[in-house]
Chains A and B, each alone.
Chain A
Amino acid sequence: MAQMTIAEALRQAIREEMQRDERVFCVGEDIGIEGGFGGAFTVTLGLSDEFGHERILDTPISETAIAGIAIGAAVAGMRPIADVQYGDFLFCMMDQLANQAAKLRYMSGGTLSVPMVMRAPVGATARGAQHAQSLEAFFTHIPGLKVVAPATAYDAKGLLKSAVRDDNPVLIFEHKLLYGSKGARSEKGALSPVGEVPDEEYLVPLGEGVIRRRGKNVTIVATLLMLYRALGAAETLSRQGIEAEVIDPRTLVPLDKELILGSVRKTGRLVVVEEDNLTNGWGAEIAAIVADEAFNWLDAPLKRVAAPDVPPPFAPVLEREYVPSEQKIVDAVLSIM
């Protein structure tokens, strides 16, 4: 079994899927260029040497071109993996994603399908307001899109492979501080979780969450970087005698709501942590589901820990205040105990 970073696990997943199915190809900015980084975060590094520039396809700096190529190719029978340099640029593609990719299958009565994967890095990492947003919630609101947020190397590989094989458009949100990118692309302050990834073939199905830590006093739901902050908070809380159960949904659409409901029935308390702005986030949706379907099991108000409703600030001091910290999660839990 190999030890891999998330960037390496994603690269291995792409490699295996391209070897398995010749319809699979990558498209993006600077993903295969000679002397480049292999995309902004080294995920596709070296793949153009293995598969050639026709399957690791570099585009001009045009997000609408990437989306157009990917969606069109998918409709035509290919299985593209589109690389978005920064998730923030998804807004350039909004019509193509929301009006075309998400709806073609529905509008064609199932005649067309869009088996496309789009990978997009998220998270505030000292790059300012336009290279820092967490965009998962936007896409959970569009019927027809699947939304994946892997937080470990094992999940990153297994979920990407499932996404490639899915006949619907899947957006995979990857956190810049979790890639474990090396060399010139190593990130200051990155967590870079390295995890065991089996040598043999495996898939992680879309729509199955996982309990990262067991506890009986409060349920904390978090993805990506926030998952690690939640686990850190759980450690602190444990020293105060509060055992938090930490759930990683892994995919936000489809959502493993039974896992969350089951945990809340046990603990009676829920805190949802997301890096995105507070208002109308996916955390609000989970809180609403729990209020609706597990009301009688609740012993305290539902809490969300999220970024304030302002753009991600550039100043490092402000960014640290903006992104939910372990302490904010601890405080939120203590406020309902």
Chain B
Amino acid sequence: MTVEIHAPPLSQTADTLVILEWLKQVGDPVNKGEVLFKVETDKAVLEVESPASGTLSAILADAGEEVKVRSVIGSIAEAGEAGGETSNPVIPSLGENTSSPGAAGEALPLERQNRLFASPRARQLAALKGVPLEALQGGGTGQGGLIVERDVSAYLEQLKTKPRITPLARRMAETTGVDLSKVTPARPGGAITKADIAASTNIGSEALESALAPTALRLTPTRKTIARRMQESHQLTAPVTYMSEVDATRLVKLRKRILGKLPDGAIRPTYTDFLIYLTCRALAGHPALNATFDEERLALYESVHLALAVDTERGLIVPVIREADRMGVEEIARMRSDLVSRALTGTLSPDELSGGTFTLSNLGALGIDHFTPLINPPQVAILGVGRIREAPLARKGKVRIRKLMGLALTCDHRVVDGGPAARFLQDLCSLVETPDLIWL
């Protein structure tokens, strides 16, 4: 049997009290007479004992809630039911106040107090058509505001005849708080437009427009730099992108072998590190691409100062690995790892961000196959690296599954013609496909 827990009428002067604290959780065993919860009346804080022994089965009024006295605030499932013990039938006590109006009109359980009144027929139709009855609350036209079938039907009808509205008008209405249900389209049967919204509000159309303006962001210094340099690149260089697809199967195997031999705690070279290494090897034979071009002056460099595009929260950052051509893969990895992590935290020095002679940008980790990178002026070439993916490759009349990688080289045609550019890319591809060639 379930025993209801009532908010006790402890105060002579107030008909509500506040539940301060429950000393038991739902599911806890409770004994009759044990303190179950604390309440605060207008006069005092008082402890209330459990009216029965069993398990606390429900708490309907949480701590902090103000409740009416005598209302149901929880329940206890009495123990010993399943025990099969024969017990005397419980004769419910009529209590002392049976004759008082308060006892006769005992408060409804809380969950019934906010009941939505709808006729069975209305509920049936609403369930069938998926109408949320809450949408009709307060709008019932039956006896005593009962929601009846015609109310549900009218709701459905109104849904059907709801005028269309343009996306812009809807956004304007949302921004300006115009109630769409009160707007009628100027063209009967037509959609509600921007003009209809403007006409239905006294906000001027200029104010409306500005309400719709996109969020204005102040540009960060980094973004400003990126914007200026990318615009320069686009306007001042004559970029041509050369694309190749290269069989990276051997490179993949080589890397795997090397990773297997690395001592614990060593930095693990990425494909980017291998590609930087191979690019430096290839550039050795093509100095025209390891260059800067500033107006009239073309400068070729003996060392490769390799600039690496790094994606950060603040935007594109391009630190430079100085004299990368003098490093082995392991050292490149160490340098790269340090520069990237400091690029991410924004702790690179200006020196580390300038002086590059060739740029590498690897978007393979982001699933890109090919892209056309923009030259990083005053440099004259940039290599864009795509992802490594398994794909069928036909060679010598046979199709095999190989690991392919897209390489895209953008060169400034003002100083690097197609021939030299293509030859560099060809050499690089050979090195990727046959890394053993570095011994030559």
Known: A335-B143, A336-B143. A300 touches B148 (CB 8 A): yes
Expressed in whole angstroms, the Cα–Cα distance for A336 and B120 within the complex equals 14
Q: Are B143 and A296 in contact (CB under 8 A)?
A: no
Most buried by A among B121, B146, B149: B121
Q: Are B142 and A300 in contact (CB under 8 A)?
A: yes
Known: A295-B120, A296-B123. A268 touches B143 (CB 8 A): no
Q: Is A33 on the interface with B (CB-CB < 8 A)?
A: no
Expressed in whole angstroms, the Cα–Cα distance for A336 and B148 within the complex equals 10
A335 surroundings in chain B (CB, below 8 A) = 143
Q: Are A298 and B143 in contact (CB under 8 A)?
A: no
A317-337 vs B, CB cutoff 8 Å, 1 = contact: the mask equals: 000000000000000000110
Q: Are A297 and B124 in contact (CB under 8 A)?
A: yes
Instruction: Give the B interface residue count (CB, 8 A).
Output: 11
Q: Is B360 on the interface with A (CB-CB < 8 A)?
A: no
Q: Is A52 on the interface with B (CB-CB < 8 A)?
A: no
Expressed in whole angstroms, the Cα–Cα distance for A335 and B121 within the complex equals 17
Q: Is A208 on the interface with B (CB-CB < 8 A)?
A: no
Q: Are A299 and B143 in contact (CB under 8 A)?
A: no
B121 surroundings in chain A (CB, below 8 A) = 268, 296-299
Q: Is A36 on the interface with B (CB-CB < 8 A)?
A: no
- Would you give the shortest CB distance from B325 to chain A, in whole angstroms? 84
Q: Are A297 and B143 in contact (CB under 8 A)?
A: no
Most buried by A among B119, B142, B149: B119
Instruction: Give the A interface residue count (CB, 8 A).
Output: 10
- Would you give the shortest CB distance from A192 to chain B, in whole angstroms? 38
Q: Are A300 and B146 in contact (CB under 8 A)?
A: yes
Q: Are A299 and B148 in contact (CB under 8 A)?
A: yes
Expressed in whole angstroms, the Cα–Cα distance for A295 and B146 within the complex equals 16
Expressed in whole angstroms, the Cα–Cα distance for A301 and B121 within the complex equals 11
Q: Are B143 and A301 in contact (CB under 8 A)?
A: yes
B146 surroundings in chain A (CB, below 8 A) = 300
B124 surroundings in chain A (CB, below 8 A) = 296-297
Q: For the complex, would chain B's binding face be called helix, strand, loop or mixed by DSSP majority?
A: helix
Expressed in whole angstroms, the Cα–Cα distance for A299 and B122 within the complex equals 7
B144-164 vs A, CB cutoff 8 Å, 1 = contact: the mask equals: 001011000000000000000
A336 surroundings in chain B (CB, below 8 A) = 142-143
Nearest-neighbor residue (CB-CB) of A336 within chain B = B143
Nearest-neighbor residue (CB-CB) of B150 within chain A = A299
Nearest-neighbor residue (CB-CB) of B151 within chain A = A299
B117-149 vs A, CB cutoff 8 Å, 1 = contact: the mask equals: 001111110000000000000000011001011
- Would you give the shortest CB distance from A82 to chain B, in whole angstroms? 45
Expressed in whole angstroms, the Cα–Cα distance for A300 and B150 within the complex equals 12
B316-344 vs A, CB cutoff 8 Å, 1 = contact: the mask equals: 00000000000000000000000000000
Expressed in whole angstroms, the Cα–Cα distance for A241 and B142 within the complex equals 16
A286-327 vs B, CB cutoff 8 Å, 1 = contact: the mask equals: 000000000111111100000000000000000000000000
Q: Are A300 and B122 in contact (CB under 8 A)?
A: no
- Would you give the shortest CB distance from B118 to chain A, in whole angstroms? 10
Expressed in whole angstroms, the Cα–Cα distance for A336 and B146 within the complex equals 10
Q: Are B142 and A299 in contact (CB under 8 A)?
A: yes
Nearest-neighbor residue (CB-CB) of A268 within chain B = B121
Tell me which residues from 257 to 298 in chain A have a Cβ below 8 Å from any Cβ of chain B: 268, 295-298
Most buried by B among A268, A295, A297, A301: A268
Most buried by B among A299, A335, A336: A299
- Would you give the shortest CB distance from A269 to chain B, in whole angstroms? 9
A296 surroundings in chain B (CB, below 8 A) = 120-121, 123-124
Nearest-neighbor residue (CB-CB) of A301 within chain B = B143
Nearest-neighbor residue (CB-CB) of B119 within chain A = A299
Expressed in whole angstroms, the Cα–Cα distance for A335 and B146 within the complex equals 12
Expressed in whole angstroms, the Cα–Cα distance for A14 and B121 within the complex equals 47
- A residues contacting B by CB (< 8 A) are 268, 295-301, 335-336
| A–B complex contacts, Cβ < 8 Å, 11 sampled | A268-B121, A296-B120, A296-B121, A296-B123, A297-B120, A299-B120, A299-B142, A300-B142, A300-B143, A300-B148, A336-B143
Q: A268-B149, A298-B120, A300-B146 are in contact. List 9 more A-B contacts (CB 8 A).
A: A268-B119, A296-B120, A296-B121, A296-B124, A298-B119, A299-B149, A300-B119, A301-B143, A335-B143
